[in-house]
Structures are given as C-alpha cells and as structure tokens.
Amino acid sequence: MAKKTIQDVDVTGKRVLVRVDFNVPQDENGNITDDTRIRAALPTIQYLVDHAARAILVSHLGRPKGVDEKLRVDPVAARLQELLGRPVRKASDVIGPAVAQQAAALKEGDVLLLENVRFYKEEEKNDPEFARQLASLADLYVNDAFGTAHRAHASTEGVAHLLPAVAGFLMGKEIEYLGRALANPERPFVAVLGGAKVADKIGVIENLLGKVDSLLIGGAMAFTFIKAQGGEIGKTLLDADSLDVARETLEKAKARGVQLILPTDALAADRIDASANTRVVPAGQIPDGWAAVDIGPEAARQFAAVVSGAKTVVWNGPMGIFEVPPFAEGTRVVARALAEANALTIVGGGDSVAAIEELGVADRISHVSTGGGASLEFLEGKVLPGIAALEEK
C-alpha cells in the first residue's frame, strides 16, 4: 500500500490543508497535560514552513455537541507556537468568508490553525458541502492524523476527493511500519495482544492467525480463553459472549500451526486495589472471590522468551491492570523484552504505549503507533477511509 507523501508533491507557495490529530488531554483549566500528539505532527508542519508553503491546520478536540467554549483550540495554538518557535494564527471558525479571507492572506511559511472541526455536525456526517467549503481554502490536502484515519469524516475523507491528497510524515510512517508487518514480515512474526475483552480484538486475532508464527494472549481476555478450556477464573472479568469464539480460535490456531500461548500462571488479588492481598496461582485455578489482575512471573518469562526470539513483533494491549502499580509487572516484562529484541517492533494502543513510555524504552521501539482504534482496524485488515482516499504512489 504505497501512498504518495508530502515529499512526492511540490508544496512551495501552495495553501496546504493539513488534517492533524491535536485531540490532546487537558485539565479543568484548559491546560494541556500531554502534548505528544502536537509534537508528532511537527515534522510535517516544519517541512511545509521550510518549503515556503502556507499551512492551514485542522483538527478535532474532544467530543463537542456543537460549539463548546471549553473545547476551543486556542490552548493548542499557543502550545504549537511554543514548539514551532514561530507565530501560529488561530481562526475563529472552520469555514465561512472570514476564514477564507484569513487563508487567502497567508504568506509563504505562515501557519493557521482552524477552530475545532467537530463544532460542526457536518464533519462526522462527511457532509459534501461542508467538505467542499473546507477544501476551497487550499490547493493541496495532507492527512497526518492516523488516529482518525478509520473515520470517514469530511476532514479525513471528504476533502481528500476534492484536492490532490497525500500523506504527511506521521501518516506515512504508520502506513509503512504497519503495512510491512502485515504484508511482508521478517520471521518469526509474533503478536502480543492484551486488554479486557475478546470481542474487542477478535477481528485482529482472526486476521493475524493467518500471518503470525506465534500469538501471545494476556490481559483479562486471556481468561475468557482459559474459561473456554474449562479453567476456573474466580471473579476475573469474563467476556461470556465470546466463549464459543475463544474455542473456535484455539482450534483455528492449531489447524494453521500457529503457536497460541496463554498465561500458565497469574497474579490473583482479592480486590482491585494497590493494597490488595495477592498470590501467584496457576492460570486456570483462580480462587473463588479472587480475580486475575496480571499474568504471572512464569508466563511473563515465557512471553519475554518468545518475543526475544522474534524478528517482527506487534504489541497491542497490556498484560494486566497496568494502571495499578502492583499489577503492572507482566506488562513491564513484555515491554522490556520488546525494547531488547533484535526485531522490527511495533506498539499500538494507549496502555501499551503508556507502559513503554513509563519504562523509558519508547525510543528503543521501532515504531510507536499514534492511533489506538485506527491501528487496531489496520491490524484487522480493514480498509481505513482516511488512507484509502490518498493518492497512490
């Protein structure tokens, strides 16, 4: 899936509409608490500035129902200006005569940030007229918001049919790394999946079963598989509707010669609390009234050994209730193994990314995906509208 990127087109002097993902967390006073997503877009914006383009940035922030004063993008514009070290103008709207005037007045190297695009319900409806008005501001469209690529919205998909449309550096990197892992992985290819529910990951599991050599399953969802095999899981979170799917998946893995590995042991706790009583038990023997809150030390060692021997690893989802520190060791062990592996390593999903960042090993991972939902759908083999609409190389 080779898509044109910003380097394949001439941007000099052009007005370039860039879809970025500036949906950053804020505190109750509107202060940005994590600017990772703004930083992730800097290479694309800087490239446009350096090549004398006129950059018009558009993003959503939160989930407003109409105009919401608390979700205006002014704090984002201020933070971007600090990071870029140059003025960032802020439009008071997304479309309309005043915005068109501001866009037309931009000089080479200028940066303009439009207001929150989701103030308009037409954005999520992918309204053709709204997309047309947005596209009319520019000569070229760049999508650098992988985190929204699975949404067919006006600013992610609609405008891409109205202007020459290419990928930014961040989007290009996501397509390259995830595409390489799925289409042409160096083997052994290992996938590590965690999280709560089998239902959330079943599409990913089914797609990966046809591609991987080993599939390691941790998190609460592992215990739905263990229950499906007749294990006792106490009061561990159970995805009861997925028991049949779990059995079928185990059979499919066996038939395809894929090594599907479940935890052999688990850390059990009598309550979900940092001060809970805990004990390590066999994974299929969780005591009544107790819950599995992490994979056990033996399972963590086994998972780490498989990861260490891999040449391509994809990881999505924690091994336990990672946000409670005593229940985070399994996730930490897998994260360290990934960082030390002599392999192409890809991490996606908020909790997995948080784990590698907390451990300080993010810079030792080949690619950290910025899109939770989008990376999951990519791994499922789904067509992402925001990517499909971009021009082929």
Is 279 annotated in the active site?
A: no
Q: Indicate which residue of 96, 210, 289, 350 is catalytic.
A: 350
Residue-wise pLDDT for 173-199, tens only, equals 999 988 888 888 999 999 999 988 888
CA distance 228 to 249: 11
The pLDDT, as a whole number, for residue 337 is: 96
What does each of the 393 residues of the chain score in pLDDT, given as a tens digit?
A: 689 999 999 999 999 999 999 999 999 888 999 898 999 999 999 999 999 999 999 999 999 999 999 999 999 999 999 999 999 999 999 999 999 999 999 999 999 999 999 999 999 999 999 999 999 999 999 999 998 999 999 999 999 999 999 999 999 999 998 888 888 899 999 999 998 888 889 999 999 999 999 999 999 999 999 999 999 999 999 999 999 999 999 999 999 999 999 999 999 999 999 999 999 999 999 999 999 999 999 999 999 999 999 999 999 999 999 999 999 999 999 999 999 999 999 998 777 888 888 888 999 999 998 777 788 888 888 889 999 999 999
Q: Indicate which residue of 37, 54, 118, 227 is catalytic.
A: 37
Q: Indicate which residue of 197, 252, 301, 311 is catalytic.
A: 197
The pLDDT, as a whole number, for residue 373 is: 78
The pLDDT, as a whole number, for residue 376 is: 82
Helices (H), the chain: 36-50, 74-84, 97-104, 121-124, 128-135, 169-183, 198-209, 221-228, 243-256, 297-308, 329-340, 350-358, 372-379, 385-388
Q: Indicate which residue of 109, 231, 373, 381 is catalytic.
A: 373
List all residues 6 or more positions away from 76 whose beta carbon is below 8 Å from its beta carbon.
22, 24, 32, 38, 59, 61, 113
What string of DSSP letters covers 18-70? EE------B-TTS-BS--HHHHHHHHHHHHHHHTT-EEEEE---S--SS--GG
> How many angstroms separate the Cα of 135 from the Cα of each of 3, 15, 120, 345?
20, 10, 15, 37
3-state secondary structure of 390: coil
The pLDDT, as a whole number, for residue 1 is: 65
Cβ atoms of 327 and 293 closer than 8 Å: yes
The pLDDT, as a whole number, for residue 125 is: 97
What does the block give as tokens for 221? 């969802």
Cβ atoms of 318 and 200 closer than 8 Å: no
Task: List, in order of start, the domains of the chain with CATH numbers.
Answer: 6-170 (3.40.50.1260), 177-379 (3.40.50.1260)
CA distance 277 to 327: 11
Is 195 annotated in the active site?
A: no
CA distance 365 to 368: 7
Is 234 annotated in the active site?
A: no
89-90 and 54-58 strand pairing: unpaired
Is 197 annotated in the active site?
A: yes
Cβ atoms of 352 and 317 closer than 8 Å: yes
